[in-house]
Amino acid sequence: MRKGIWITGIAILALCIALVFFLQKRAGVPNPVAADQRESAASRAMENSSTNPLRESQAAIPVDNQRTSNAMRVLALPPTVSPLVKALATTNPVAAKRLALWQTPIEFYGKVVDEHTNSIAGATISFNWVEFPAEDGNRHTNIFSDAEGGFSLRSERGPNLGILVAKEGYYPRSGGARYGPAEAPEFSADPQNPVIFVLRKKGTPAELVSMKRNYRIPRDGTSVGIDLVSGANATGENGNLVVQCWTKDQGKRSGERYDWRCTVAIPGGGVVATDEEFPFLAPEIGYKPTTEINMPVGITNWNSQVDLQFYYRLADGRYGRMKFSMIAGGQHFCMIDSVLNPSGSRNLEPAN
């Protein structure tokens, strides 16, 4: 009987000891042996760091690269930044780096000449740029070209620069530049090689007949005649402009290529292609009766819309110029923007 009581008591005591040990472990009570081991490891680390400055600096770098300190991020900023960027870098490094791109130093040198390369002094140069992306970040200033036609802008900041050059008696020109690695890393300002702005002197304007309209064009090659004076449709090939188009887009899905071609003809006259910015004087010679757009499926620069610009001479000797666009898809139509000098002069300069 007594032996049974002793066995029961020993079992209860062992259970209590195990329970106490388990509760201590959950509560975080340190294991004396483990604590000694950690203390020894810490002592060795202290000794190593005190005798090796390099290890001390390495220990200061966070293991997680995503938690790099603000001070370290500031070092990654471009070498030339404004005080605003420097101040922002201490609180928001990511925003500071983005703002630094917006505040790339601006340096621009330009020169104004006429169509005969003569320098133009006193031209008004209007600069526009954005120093930082906010409503109050827009900047603007005006200067004048010097006696040699030169001008420049420096000591400003922004990723791009807009420029408008104008002078009374000339047609204005616009241009600009982009700065920084995100915009145009290949651009380099050079005072010995300025960007040239050519202003064309205004001449004697002509009384021109303008016509701007759209016309539906059949897909099967049926001729569409157009009167370039009245804008009215003419029967068959009786117009002084005739458009034909062959488009094989039946059953094609949106975005799928197809063969198409278009011809533009001036019966008895002809056309001369031009890419002039100021197409104000029609040439005397070089006219061909027809120009063609050819868009087979396999062509590299295939497009369902093609834009042309050309001078034209009508059968009666009158001259004009035209912007012609063919949209060979959807509603299938052409757009015509034409001016014609009814007097027979080659002068196509507008009055405004």
> Residues 62-80: pLDDT tens digits?
333 333 333 333 334 445 5
104-201 CATH? 2.60.40.1120
Query: pLDDT tier at 95 (50, 70, 90 boundaries)?
Result: low
Q: Are 104 and 127 in contact (CB under 8 A)?
A: no
Distance CA 26, CA 306 (A): 78
What residue spans define the domains of the chain? Answer: 104-201, 209-341
Sign of CA dihedral 209, 213, 216, 219: positive
pLDDT of residue 269 exceeding 90: yes
**What tokens were used for 234?**
């003419």
Q: Are 143 and 123 in contact (CB under 8 A)?
A: no
Residue 35 is predicted with a pLDDT of 39
What are φ and ψ of residue 71, in 5° steps?
A: -60, -40
Residue 184 is predicted with a pLDDT of 59
* Alpha-carbon separation of residue 138 from 82, 141, 223, 301 (angstroms): 16, 11, 53, 38
278 secondary structure, DSSP code = S
240-279 as b/e: b if 16+ CB within 10 A:
bbbbbbebebeeeeeeeebbbbbbbbbbebbbbeeeeeeb
Partnered with residue 212 across adjacent β-strands are: 337
* pLDDT tens by residue, 14-71: 555 554 454 444 444 444 434 344 334 433 433 343 333 322 332 232 333 333 333 3
> Is the model more confident about 340 or about 84?
340
Per-residue pLDDT, averaged over 92-106, amounts to: 71
> First-to-last CA distance in the chain?
127
* pLDDT tens by residue, 231-260: 998 876 678 999 999 999 999 998 899 999
Residue given tokens 């420049």 in the structure block: 152
Per-residue pLDDT, averaged over 93-102, amounts to: 68
* Alpha-carbon separation of residue 343 from 21, 33, 183, 295 (angstroms): 113, 110, 49, 37
The burial of 151, by beta-carbon neighbours within 10 Å (0-12 exposed, 13-18 middle, 19 or more buried), is given as buried
Count, in order, helices (H) and strands (E) of the chain. 6, 18
Distance CA 27, CA 38 (A): 19
Per-residue pLDDT, averaged over 147-161, amounts to: 90
Residue 37 is predicted with a pLDDT of 43
Residue 258 is predicted with a pLDDT of 97
